[in-house]
Structure 1
Amino acid sequence: MTDRPILIAGGGIGGLTAALALARNGVPVRVLEQTAELGAIGYGIQLGPNVFPMFEKLGLTAAMMKVAVVPRACVMFDALTGADVARIPGEKMLRERFGAPYIVIHRVDLHGVLLEACKATSGIDLQSNVTVTGYTQDSAGVTVTTADGKKISGAGLIGADGLRSVVRAQMLGDGDPKPIGYVAHRTIIPMSEVPAGVQRDVSAIWIGPSFHLVHYPVRHDTLCNIVAVFRTGTFDEKGDAAFHAAEVERTYARAHPTIKAMLDRMDLSRRWVISDRDPVRRWSDGRVVILGDAAHPALQTFAQGACMAIEDGVCLGELVAQANGDIAGAFAALVKARGVRTARVQLEGRMMWEGYHAEDVARDVWLDMFSSRSEREVCDCLAWLYDGFDLSQASAARRA
């Protein structure tokens, strides 16, 4: 297909998935990661059943399950009363309905499985400490410029460089992501330090007026991942741990004692501003394409950021393999195959975000809506997402 590799800006989850999918289809790739080492930092990730057909395609299911935790259920709690509002059922029902479980995993472990698979696959050149700052292209290929002034050429370029993608900025010029007025604090603590009364074997979300809290086990139930999210007028301000702690205390003043006990265990020295972007119809520019958060960043409502990036990467591998050398055509087909699905995650995620954080009468309405659904009805509501992405859509998109 091509003697020159396809360049991938970004060695995160989406970038490594695309590298693996392409190389498995005989397409050489060169991954350019800006950090000093190809690795991951961070916290926990939730992965829905829809990711497992992609793992099967890449031959990674067994390796992923070795480092994942299968929660007993995914439970929504009322953050004020502690009442059980709704739940995604346990493994048995999910396997019966969707053919796969819901799992939680440490980001480092997920990335590690992908990285080891890439290292074991011929045709993948992994390079660290390379920051892509821009690109030029012609009919024969793409040349990227790096922060140290070097130029690297390839048959095409995949921008898998995240929420603040440099590749997207040049391609679309649509500015920075939009803050939504919420921030997040993240912490991982030993399971032995989790307060009494907390259900340790579930993936939990506690929804309240203008705030929520998530917790779930990782690393074979030895650690607990905690995320506290809330709306604040100071989202764009920098503060120290004392400033953050005072704000958290005010925001969660009405919260259930279990939440307050979890907050007491959190490291509040750092927080992240939550942002997203509107869906767009254009992800490609000739021999350049973007995927994952670079293309369609979504709020964390459905916990699908990693899943969507993985689906993108596998789909792109299929498109390029079927393209008979027409890389620009394959790249243009990605948004045709994936655009509506990822936009639904973005837009429906925004709608559900409002429900999670509703106040006053609107909160009563949302709680009534959530609590009126049986576990089977919850599965039905999520079928559009958890039934997964049919890779035959890649062929249809290419033909279109």
Structure 2
Amino acid sequence: MSRDSNEILIVGGGLGGLSAALALGRKGLPVRLLEQSEHIGAIGYGIQMGPNVFSAFVQMGVADTVRAQSHKPSALLMLDAYSGEQLAAVPFDETFRARFDDPYVAIHRVDLHNILLDACRKLPNVRLDQSITVSSFEDLGDRVSVLTAEAGIIEGAALIGADGLRSVIRSQMHPQDQPRLLGYVAHRTIVPIKSVPDIVRCDEVVLWVGPAFHIIYYPLRNGTELNIVAVFRTDTYAQKNDPVAHKAELQKTYQDTHPEMQAVLGLMDLSRRWPLADRNPIRQWARGRVTLLGDSAHATLQSLAQGAGMAIEDAVYLAALLEVTG
């Protein structure tokens, strides 16, 4: 049994878990993060973040680094998938900057993950353990313990479940609650900008919408890469890894759409798809010395572009509350 009753245990090494480790660590609290994967890493696609998230980055001491590694698009456009008509636009111009102190950005998830990971590694009171799978927990009143396959029982002062949509910690707190498949799938791709046809806009965040489908794309890494996500409703949402079938379904779903959309769809890697899922709201995120954050507490659809931001904000404000009550 590994025991340090002063450590705060965090299950999950994604953006929410790393943010919690960093925010708590900067408050001087001892932290131990437990990640089940062999490496603490991230799936390599883009995310968008609004100005609201930057106050959290400031408090974690990484705001300047995030700004430097982010792309600042010129606008967010919503277009009709068939006619190309502009339905809405949010220009990130002087008016936007006068209202918000911080930018709207797009960043490679891996880049953001590494920023947080590097900052955590600089703190002597933060331990990062990989290849440790937590299967259950117990609140012992004056401490908590987690059961792992690799390290036996690990004890600490408190437990934070930052283990995502299919959270083990949430499943024990709310056994009847399970992820809910929505009947939609997402195909994600990143391609070099130099391979993108001239017809495709590569500076804005461009969202094309149609009946039960959309496609969104935006640049990353100083405009050198284009992140593409195609989402649509389908009866075959549970089927995976069939590129031929995926291509046929994509062509049928998006047939007769605008030529710019068709050019983007031609760039898609269809070797993998992600069935989209949600969770029902719960009123109780915390119980005793155990709490949840991010998707494990309040999973949100990717179309809101706030999932990562909310997990990061959760971490910062949780750390602030613990500091006040500590």
Same fold (TM over 0.5): yes
| Offset at residue 148 of structure 1 (A) | 3.0
Equivalent AA in structure 2 for residue 272 of structure 1: W
- What are the ranges of 5 or more consecutive residues in structure 2 without an aligned counterpart? none
Partner residue, 1:59: 61
Partner residue, 1:366: none
Partner residue, 1:307: 309
Is 2:178 the counterpart of 1:176?
yes
Bigger shift: residues 85-94 or 292-301: 85-94
Partner residue, 1:93: 95
Partner residue, 2:134: 132
Q: Aligned with 2:298: secondary structure?
A: coil
1:238 to 214, 234, 240: 240
Distance 1:249 1:10 in 2: 37
Distance 1:149 1:11 in 2: 17
Partner residue, 1:19: 21
Q: Given the superposition, is the C-alpha separation of residues 91 and 62 from structure 1 closer, same or farther in structure 2, using an over 3 Å criterion?
A: farther
Q: TM-score, normalised by structure 1?
A: 0.79
- What are the ranges of 5 or more consecutive residues in structure 1 without an aligned counterpart? 325-400
| Offset at residue 171 of structure 1 (A) | 0.6
Distance 1:148 1:21 in 2: 27
Distance 2:64 2:176 in 1: 40
Is 2:109 the counterpart of 1:113?
no
Partner residue, 1:195: 197
| Offset at residue 91 of structure 1 (A) | 4.3
| Offset at residue 255 of structure 1 (A) | 1.2
Distance 1:197 1:20 in 2: 42
Partner residue, 1:267: 269
Equivalent AA in structure 1 for residue 17 of structure 2: G
Root-mean-square deviation (Å): 1.3
- In 1, are the aligned partners of 2:132 and 2:151 still within 8 Å (CA)? no
| Offset at residue 57 of structure 1 (A) | 1.2
| Offset at residue 280 of structure 1 (A) | 1.1
Bigger shift: residues 128-137 or 159-168: 128-137
Equivalent AA in structure 1 for residue 315 of structure 2: G
Equivalent AA in structure 1 for residue 289 of structure 2: R
Q: Aligned with 1:268: secondary structure?
A: coil
Bigger shift: residues 7-16 or 145-154: 145-154
Count of residue correspondences: 323
| Offset at residue 284 of structure 1 (A) | 1.1
Q: Deviations over 1:194-214 (max 9, x none)?
A: 122111001111111111000
Distance 2:149 2:27 in 1: 31
Q: Given the superposition, is the C-alpha separation of residues 108 and 322 from structure 1 closer, same or farther in structure 2, using an over 3 Å criterion?
A: same
**Residue pairs, 1:1-400, within 5 angstroms:** 4-148=6-150, 150-238=152-240, 240-324=242-326
- In 1, are the aligned partners of 2:206 and 2:218 still within 8 Å (CA)? yes
| Offset at residue 176 of structure 1 (A) | 2.4
Q: TM-score, normalised by structure 2?
A: 0.96
Q: Structure 1 runs of 4+ off > 2 angstroms?
A: 91-94
Q: Aligned with 2:54: secondary structure?
A: helix
Name the one with the larger helix percent. 1
Distance 1:134 1:41 in 2: 25
Q: Aligned with 1:96: secondary structure?
A: helix
Distance 2:237 2:42 in 1: 26
- In 1, are the aligned partners of 2:177 and 2:280 still within 8 Å (CA)? no
Distance 1:290 1:195 in 2: 44
Partner residue, 1:369: none
| Offset at residue 149 of structure 1 (A) | 6.0
Name the one with the larger strand percent. 2
- In 2, are the aligned partners of 1:178 and 1:276 still within 8 Å (CA)? yes
Q: Aligned with 1:104: secondary structure?
A: strand
| Offset at residue 3 of structure 1 (A) | 6.0
Distance 1:102 1:238 in 2: 33
Structure having greater relative contact order (Cα 8 Å, sep ≥ 6): 2
Q: Aligned with 1:322: secondary structure?
A: helix
Q: Given the superposition, is the C-alpha separation of residues 108 and 91 from structure 1 closer, same or farther in structure 2, using an over 3 Å criterion?
A: farther
Q: Given the superposition, is the C-alpha separation of residues 149 and 28 from structure 1 closer, same or farther in structure 2, using an over 3 Å criterion?
A: closer
Q: Aligned with 2:201: secondary structure?
A: coil
Distance 1:43 1:209 in 2: 25
- In 1, are the aligned partners of 2:5 and 2:143 still within 8 Å (CA)? no
Partner residue, 1:370: none
